[in-house]
Amino acid sequence: MIRNVAKWWTVVIPSLALLALAISWGRTLPPALVAIVALLLAGAVLAAVHHAEVIAHRVGEPFGSLLLAVAVTVIEVALIVSLMVSGGEKTATLARDTVFAAVMITCNGIVGLSLLAVTLRRRIAAFHAEGSGGALATVATLSTLSLVLPTFTTSEPGPAFSPAQLAFAAVVSLALYGLFVLTQTVRHRDYFLPITIEGTTTTAEEHAPRPSARTALISLGLLLVALVAVVGLAKVESPVIESVVSSAGLPHAVVGVVIALLVLLPETIAALRAARRNQVQISLNLALGSAMASIGLTIPSIAVASIWLDGPLLLGLGSTHLVLLALTFVVTTLTVVPGRATLLQSGVHLVLFAAFIFLAVSP
């Protein structure tokens, strides 16, 4: 029975959240309903994490973290593309802002919090430098090709690609992401499994019985329901967020940051729970995998969607964001290359994340 698959709330809450999404989509909600939607959004996030862990325990790592990262990103990309197709010129920077926010949240926020959770209890966080280093190299390459080069190309005015350049970036992004997935799941899967300080490979929840195939399939369906609800309800809440941001006199880019934070909550909680089990590699798989999926799937999608887009598509970052991006990759490289991290590295990443949030609020 379903009660053997999950606690009752992990079944009921995603269903209620999806029902709330269907009822509230495209409508202006009164304050009481906004509060209810926010509670269902939080419940859907927790349910998504639970079902992702059930599936991960069935299929093993790194397939579990890859599945969660890709599932969230696919739904997020669908939302971005639908907004861009219907939004006109006001959404010209939506893809850029969303992808950049995802990179900063994952590479600084999730990585910093995960390292903090481990190093406060065990002093040293251990992981595979080979796996995390390869993932970081892929994220840095995709970010540079998609977010940095448009600022400096000259074929089109402004921080934008020409159609040929956008097509090249899309093909390369998809190919590189596919190559990484092959490396992570087939060629060098052992580089992405958790290890101890002594270098011994561990597995998640070794003491727990492995879920059945039926249990995993039910959790997969509930995971998709929960993720659709998370992303959809985040969009439903966006008018309220926009109103609060406008009333506070903050830049409009803050709205994108808040929505990105909401959408990435499942990965964040899953990464922290893995870190508390001293499985830092899973946390890094989630963080870097989410950043990579965000770029590798968003750019090809908007390249196809650009056929129907009326307004400009601005991908290039401004000078402040370029500095933050470069510093993030330098610091993250120094973190992952040794295969060991301390409390200091977690503090540096969290300071960079705080700088990103502060400069979004006060550019």
pLDDT (tens digit, 9 = 90+) per residue, 274-303? 899 888 999 999 899 888 888 888 888 888
Per-residue pLDDT, 317: 92
Per-residue pLDDT, 61: 66
Q: What is the pLDDT of residues 184-226, one digit of tens each?
A: 888 888 888 888 666 566 654 444 567 787 888 888 888 888 8
Q: How would you classify residue 88: left for phi > 0, otherwise alpha for psi between -120 and 50, otherwise beta?
A: left
Give me the residues of the chain with pLDDT under 70, please: 1-7, 61, 65, 79, 82-90, 196-209, 310
Long-range contacts of residues 132-135, Cβ cutoff 8 Å, at least 24 apart: 132/281, 132/284, 132/288, 132/336, 132/339, 133/333, 133/336, 133/337, 134/180, 134/183, 134/188, 134/191, 135/180, 135/184, 135/284, 135/285, 135/288, 135/289, 135/292
Which of helix, strand or coil describes residue 70? helix
How far lies 159's CA from each of 60, 93, 297, in Å? Answer: 42, 10, 20
The chain-wide mean pLDDT, for the chain, equals 83
Cα dihedral sign, 226-228-229-234: positive
How far apart CA 250 and CA 335 sit, in angstroms, is: 33
CATH, residue 221: 1.20.1420.30
How far apart CA 358 and CA 363 sit, in angstroms, is: 8
pTM score, whole prediction = 0.83
How far apart CA 268 and CA 280 sit, in angstroms, is: 13
> Which domain does 167 fall in, by range?
2-361
- Given a contact cutoff of 8 angstroms between Cβ atoms, the answer to whether 138 and 289 are in contact is no
* Structural domain total, the chain: 1
- Residue 189, judged by CB atoms within 10 A of its CB (0-12, 13-18, 19+), counts as middle
